[in-house]
Amino acid sequence: MESVTIKDIARICGVGVSTVSRAMNDHPDINQETKDKIMRVIREHNYIPNNSAQNLKRADAKTIAVLVKGISNPLFARMIKVLEREIQKQHYSLVLQHVDDRQNEVDVAIQLEKEKRLRGIVFLGGYFSHSEEKLKQISVPFVLSTIGLLEDANKEKYASVSVDDVRESSRMVEYLIAKGHRDIAILAAREDDTSIGLLRLQGYYQTLKKHGIKPNPALVVYMKEELGPYTMENGYAMAKELLASGEKFTALFAISDRMAVGACKAILEAGKTVPQDYSVAGFDGLDLAQFYNPTITTIRQPMEEMAEAAIRTLFDMIEQEGKKKHVVFAGELIEGQSVRQI
Amino acid sequence: MESVTIKDIARICGVGVSTVSRAMNDHPDINQETKDKIMRVIREHNYIPNNSAQNLKRADAKTIAVLVKGISNPLFARMIKVLEREIQKQHYSLVLQHVDDRQNEVDVAIQLEKEKRLRGIVFLGGYFSHSEEKLKQISVPFVLSTIGLLEDANKEKYASVSVDDVRESSRMVEYLIAKGHRDIAILAAREDDTSIGLLRLQGYYQTLKKHGIKPNPALVVYMKEELGPYTMENGYAMAKELLASGEKFTALFAISDRMAVGACKAILEAGKTVPQDYSVAGFDGLDLAQFYNPTITTIRQPMEEMAEAAIRTLFDMIEQEGKKKHVVFAGELIEGQSVRQI
C-alpha cells in the first residue's frame, strides 16, 4: 500500500501544504473550520507525518520525563492524566517511568537523561533525601511533587509542588481532638521513613503536644516492610496488631485512605464497629473514602491542581529560566461518617 | 567532580573490568558474592555506565512499549510491575505510554514505532477492533492483553493473553442462579462497547437463556458515558437509576469490582442493605473486593500470571519468531459476604 503524504492531504483538502502543517502543529494562525477538516482527513487516511528526520529530532529534543514511585497509588493516576494533557499541549513528548521501591530515583533520572536528551523531569512520590552532590548530576530542570521535603533541605536546589504534610496532618488531629478524642492512635509510615510519612507523624506529635496530650508510643504503629506501602493490606495488618495489644484508644488516624479502609476491616473482624467503638480517619481524599461504608473522614489533596502547578513550574524553568518555586497547596478536611463525637 | 569509571570500580573491588561488566549485565558466569560486592560498590560510588555510544544504541534498539488504556485501573498497575521486571531481566528497556480514552491505540503505536525503533509492543486494555489494514502498519510483534477479542477477529493477526470473558461472566451468573436468584440485574459497559464489556454481557445472556430465564431489558444498565468507565462513581449512578426504576430484582452483577462498590453505596442510600435486600457481585478480584464491608463476591483474574505470559509470548515472537499464541487463563470465583441464598 502506497502511504499517504502531506501533499495528498493538502490536495484532498484543497489547501496548501503549509496550511496542513499549520493544522498539525496547532498553529494559532489558521481558521478553526479548515483545521477541523484537515484533521478529519488526516485521521480518515491514517496519515502519519513521515518527515522522520525532523520528527525524530523533535521527539528527542523535547521530552519531559515523569518518574513515578508507587504506580499503584490512585492519586498518581489522576496526576499523570493532567501531566500528559499539559505536556502534549506544549508539544513536548512524555516518557513515563516507574521507579521501583528499591531503586534510587536520581540514578534512574540520570540514566534517562543520557538516553533521551530530556528537557525536564517531574518526580512523583518517593523518599527524596538525596545529597546535593548527587542532585548536581541532574543537569535539566526538575520539579518534585507530592514528596515530603524535610525542613533542612536546601530549597534552592529544588522546585516543588505539594501540600504541607505537617500542617494537613495537624488539621486532622485537631479535628479528632475537637470531637473529644484524646487517645488517638496513628497508622504511620515505616519507622525509617524520611518523607511524607515522617512529616505526617510530626504533625500528629505537634498537635498532641499543643493540647497537652502525652503521646503514647504504644499507639504509634509503623507500616510493615513486607507489605505494600500505604495499602489496605498494610493498614489491616497494622490495626490488627494495635487491637491485639489491648492498648486503649478511641480514634485511629491512618495516613492514607487505603490504610484507613484496611483498619476498618480489622476493627470489624474484632467484632467492633466504626464509628461506634472506634473513630477512623484517613488521608488523601480518594474516591474510596467517599464510597466506603461508612464514608471515611479524610484530608483531600488537590491532585489535579497540583499536577497543573508542577508542569507549569517546570515549563517556566525550561523556557524562561524561571526560579525554583515552592508551591504549597492547602488540603481540605472532608467529613465522613467514620468519626463520632465522644 | 571527576566521575567514577568502570576501571575505578574494578580497582576498588580488586577484580578485572570484565568481571564488573559481567556483574552489571547479570551474566550467569559470576560468583554471587563477588557480584553483590561489585553492585554495592557501584551504588556507593554512584557509578553510571558511561559508555554512551553503546548505551544509546542498546536503549534505542531494544525497547518494548507497553500501551495502557485506563491507567487508573488497579489491575494494570499490578501487571505493569511484572512487565517491568521481566523486560529488565531480558535487558530491554521499557516505554510506558498511556493511551487516552479518545485516542486510537494503533495510531499511538505506529507513531511510537517511528520515534523509538521498538522491538515489540504489549497493549493493555481498551477497545481493540481495528481493521487488518490498520494493523498491518504495525511492523513489530505485539501482544494484546486483557482486551476482549470478538469471535470474528482474525486470530492469526494477533497474539493475546486474557481470560475468557464470556465464560467467566457465565461462571458468576451460574453461581447467582444456584443461589436461587432469577431476577438478576447487570451493570454492563457502554451500549456501544465492543470489548470485554460486550463479552461479559454475552455471558450473562447465554447463562440466563440456558436456565430458561427470559432476560428483562429493564435490568440491563449501561455505563454512563460522561463518567469514568468501570469506576465506583459510574456504578453508583447506574445502580441509583436501576433502583429508581422500581424494577424488581434480587441480585446485581457489576462487571467490575469498583462498580459493585458504587452499587452498594446506592443501595445503602436507598435504605436497603447488602446482601439482605440485594445480593451484589463484582468482577476482577481487586483488593477492594476483599476489604469492602461486606466483602464482595467476585471473579479473580490472575493478573500477575497473565502479565508473565504476555511478555513471554512477546519475547518468543521477537527472538525466536514464535507463533501468534492465544493464551487463555481461567478466572476464579471468590465467595464474599455480598451474595445470599434466597
Q: What is the mean pLDDT of each run of 10 residues along chain A (342 residues)?
A: 69 83 72 80 66 40 83 81 88 81 80 82 77 80 79 73 94 98 97 87 97 97 93 97 98 97 98 98 95 97 94 91 86 97 95
Inter-residue contact B196 to B124 (CB < 8 Å): no
Rounded Cα–Cα distance for residues A215 and A218 (Å):
9
The alpha helices in A130-195, defined as continuous H runs, are 132-135, 165-178
Per-residue model confidence (pLDDT) at position B152: 60
pLDDT lower than 50: segments of chain B = 1-2, 50-60
Name the residue facing A107 among B48, B265, B268 (closest C-beta).
Answer: B48
Q: Characterize A227-261 residue by residue with b for buried, 16 or more Cβ atoms within 10 angstroms of its Cβ, and e for exposed.
A: bbbbbbbbbbbbbbebbeeeeebbbbbbbbbbbbb
Q: Kindly tell me the sign of the dihedral angle through the C-alpha atoms of A249, A254, A258, A259.
A: negative
The residues near B334 (Cβ < 8 Å, ≥ 6 apart) are B285, B289, B290, B297, B298, B299, B300
Do A114 and B268 count as a contact with CB atoms less than 8 A apart?
no
Per-residue model confidence (pLDDT) at position A142: 92
The residues near B70 (Cβ < 8 Å, ≥ 6 apart) are B76, B101, B124, B125, B126, B229, B230
Do B56 and A288 count as a contact with CB atoms less than 8 A apart?
no
CB burial class (10 A; 0-12, 13-18, 19+) of residue A8?
A: middle
Do A52 and B292 count as a contact with CB atoms less than 8 A apart?
no
Per-residue model confidence (pLDDT) at position B52: 35
Rounded Cα–Cα distance for residues B185 and A332 (Å):
37
Rounded Cα–Cα distance for residues B225 and B54 (Å):
48
Inter-residue contact A265 to A200 (CB < 8 Å): no
Amino acid at B187: L
Q: How far is CA B245 from CA B29, B201, B249, B274, in A?
A: 69, 21, 11, 19
For chain B, say whether A102 makes contact (Cβ under 8 Å): no
Which DSSP letter does residue A192 get? T
Determine which of B107, B233, B292 to mutate to test the interface with A (most A C-beta atoms within 10 Å). Answer: B292
Shortest CA distance to B237 belongs to which of A77, A338, A336, A287?
A287
Transcribe B142-190 into DSSP letters.
EEEES----TTS-GGG-EEEEE-HHHHHHHHHHHHHHTT--SEEEE-S-
Residue B3 is placed in which grid cell? Answer: 566521575
CB burial class (10 A; 0-12, 13-18, 19+) of residue A226?
A: exposed
Fold for B6-50, please state it. Answer: 434 Repressor (Amino-terminal Domain) (1.10.260)
Equal fold, A57-163+303-329 vs A166-301: yes
Inter-residue contact A338 to A315 (CB < 8 Å): no
Do B46 and A100 count as a contact with CB atoms less than 8 A apart?
no
CA A160 to chain B, closest CA, distance in angstroms equals: 24
Beta strands in A195-293 (DSSP E): 220-221, 251-254, 279-281
Per-residue model confidence (pLDDT) at position B28: 67
Find residues 120-159 of chain B whose CB sits inside 8 Å of chain A. 133-134, 136-137
Q: Where are the domains of chain B?
A: 6-50, 56-163+303-330, 166-301
pTM beyond cutoff 0.80 = no
Per-residue model confidence (pLDDT) at position A59: 44
Angle between helices A32-44 and A17-24 (to 10 degrees): 90
For A145-162, give the secondary structure using H, E and C: ECCCCCCCCCHHHCEEEE
Rounded Cα–Cα distance for residues B264 and B256 (Å):
13
Rounded Cα–Cα distance for residues A325 and B291 (Å):
40
Rounded Cα–Cα distance for residues B7 and B257 (Å):
54
Q: What is the CATH number of domain B56-163+303-330?
A: 3.40.50.2300
Per-residue model confidence (pLDDT) at position A7: 79
For chain B, say whether A100 makes contact (Cβ under 8 Å): yes
Do A114 and B1 count as a contact with CB atoms less than 8 A apart?
no
3-class DSSP assignment, residue A240: helix
Q: Phi and psi dihedrals of B112, rounded to 5?
A: -65, -40
For chain B, say whether A24 makes contact (Cβ under 8 Å): no
Rounded Cα–Cα distance for residues A100 and A122 (Å):
16
**Partners of residue A96 in chain B, C-beta under 8 Å:** 96-98
Rounded Cα–Cα distance for residues A45 and A22 (Å):
18
Do A80 and B98 count as a contact with CB atoms less than 8 A apart?
yes
**Partners of residue A97 in chain B, C-beta under 8 Å:** 96
Largest CA distance in chain B: 79
Rounded Cα–Cα distance for residues B214 and B183 (Å):
9
Q: Which residue has cell 513550574?
A: A313
Do B107 and A236 count as a contact with CB atoms less than 8 A apart?
no
Inter-residue contact B145 to B79 (CB < 8 Å): yes
- For the stretch B7-11, contacts whose Cβ atoms lie closer than 8 Å and that sit 24 or more positions apart, written own/partner, are B8/B45, B8/B47, B9/B38, B9/B41, B9/B42, B9/B45, B9/B47
Q: Is B330 left (phi over 0), alpha (psi -120 to 50) or beta?
A: beta
Amino acid at A110: I
Determine which of B2, B3, B39, B46 to mutate to test the interface with A (most A C-beta atoms within 10 Å). Answer: B46
Inter-residue contact B282 to B297 (CB < 8 Å): yes
pLDDT, tens digit, 9 for 90 and up, residues B49-105: 544 333 344 444 588 999 988 777 778 888 888 998 899 888 888 888 877 766 778
Find residues 166-195 of chain B whose CB sits inside 8 Å of chain A. none
Q: How far is CA A93 from CA A88, A89, B100, in A?
A: 6, 10, 14
For chain B, say whether A264 makes contact (Cβ under 8 Å): yes
B166-301: CATH architecture = 3-Layer(aba) Sandwich (3.40)
Q: Which residue of B has its CA nearest to A78?
A: B72
Q: What is the CATH number of domain A57-163+303-329?
A: 3.40.50.2300
Peptide bond into A294 cis (omega under 30): yes
Q: Which residue of A has its CA nearest to B104?
A: A43
Name the residue facing A59 among B81, B115, B291 (closest C-beta).
Answer: B115
Do A232 and B46 count as a contact with CB atoms less than 8 A apart?
no
Strands B184-187 and B251-254: parallel
3-class DSSP assignment, residue B299: strand
Transcribe A66-120 into DSSP letters.
EEEE-TT-HHHHHHHHHHHHHHHHTT-EEEEEEE-TTS-HHHHHHHHHHHH-EEE
Amino acid at B74: P
Any idea what the Cα angle at residue B284 is, between residues B283 and B290, rounded to 5°?
90
Per-residue model confidence (pLDDT) at position B166: 95
